[in-house]
Amino acid sequence: MNIAICDDEMLIRKQLSDLAALEAEVADIDEFSSAEELLNSKKHYGLVFLDIMMPGVNGVNAARALRAQKKADSIVFVTGSKEYVFDAFDVGALHYLLKPIDSKKFKEVFERAHIISKRNDIQHKKLVIRTRNSTEAVQISDIFYVESQLKKLIIHTGSRDISCYGKISEFEKELGASFYRCHRGYLINMYYVESYNGESITLVNGEYVYLAKERYADFVKNYLRYMKNGGACIV
């Protein structure tokens, strides 16, 4: 996972870098003393630690730029005061850390960011689908839901539907934890959930799929966990 640490205080940068190195199995950690340096980087970061109050471009405006450029999965603000925290959450921050950094709190936040990074890695991969006449590679993040119709599956994406033969249970294993089997005939990408009730789930494109009554409580539990870990869809 690529990690960026942006703070004008050298000691804070070192502390965060040391803590991240302890938590990450494999990580590429970059340190920046200003938001301008961070924004000039060409990398995509799984996790960005960002000081709110810095000379020049402040952390909140830097976060807006990172979101616009789609260069960060998770942003964690670092601040000496809670005064600006609410402004920070307007840009979809995962959490915030107060200076001096508490190592236990750092560990909790890092683990959540690591889950998001792994999930996004899966979403960016491609799924190989063999149809009657061809073999296609579809990016997983483009799949809204999978529908089972007898022995045939329909892969619903944002632009088209693809028919193939297979078992929905096999797709469930391959697509990972961002997808939920809400009904024996439907497998949804939780990234695209807009709302739900006891009978159905409405997706952001206006379509809805059935939600089995016996799976309602489990779906709510899984979806709330997904949202807690930063899974909201921004369209």
Residue range 83-114, pLDDT digits in tens: 777 766 677 788 889 998 999 999 999 988 88
Instruction: Flag whether 234 is in a domain.
Output: no
Domain that includes residue 41, residue range: 2-123
230 pLDDT band, cuts 50/70/90, is low
Task: pLDDT band for 232, please (50, 70, 90 cuts).
Answer: very low
Whether the predicted pLDDT of 117 surpasses 80? no
- On whether both 36 and 119 belong to a single domain, the answer is yes
- Which residues of 15-140 form beta strands (DSSP E)? 28-32, 45-51, 72-79, 95-98, 126-130, 135-139
Which pLDDT does position 234 carry in this prediction? 35
Between the alpha carbon of residue 193 and those of residues 67, 108, 211, the distances in Å are 20, 26, 12
Domain for residue 161, yes or no? Answer: yes
Same domain, 131 and 170: yes
**139 and 218 together in one domain:** yes
Return d(Cα 62, Cα 8) in angstroms, integer: 14
Q: How confident is the model at residue 235 (pLDDT cuts 50, 70, 90)?
A: very low
C-alpha–C-alpha distance, residues 24 and 41, integer Å: 21
The mean of the pLDDT values for the chain is 87
Residues 184 and 201 in one domain: yes
Query: Is 235 part of any domain?
Result: no
Examine the domain organization and report whether 158 and 208 are in the same domain. yes
- pLDDT band, residue 158 (cuts 50/70/90): confident
Whether the predicted pLDDT of 179 surpasses 80: yes
φ/ψ region of 92 (left if φ > 0, alpha if ψ in -120 to 50, else beta) reads left
Examine the domain organization and report whether 105 and 38 are in the same domain: yes
pLDDT in tens, 30-75: 999 999 999 999 988 989 999 998 999 999 999 999 988 888 888 9
Please indicate, yes or no, whether residues 173 and 71 belong to a single structural domain of this protein: no
3-class SS of residue 211? coil
- How far does CA 19 lie from the centroid of its chain? 22
Structure tokens at 140: 């997983």
Number of domains in the chain: 2
Residues 6 or more apart whose CB falls under 8 angstroms from that of 33 comprise 6, 7, 8, 10, 13
Q: Answer yes or no: is 18 within a domain.
A: yes
CATH number at residue 200: 2.40.50.1020
Asked if residue 90 and residue 14 are part of one domain, the reply reads: yes
Are residues 16 and 80 both part of a single domain? yes
Residue 179 φ then ψ, to 5°: -105, 145
Write down which residue in 102, 123, 144 finishes a domain.
Answer: 123
To the nearest 10 degrees (0 to 180), the angle between helices 10-23 and 103-123 is 60
Specify whether 10 is located in the same domain as 79.
yes
Tell me if 233 is assigned to some domain: no
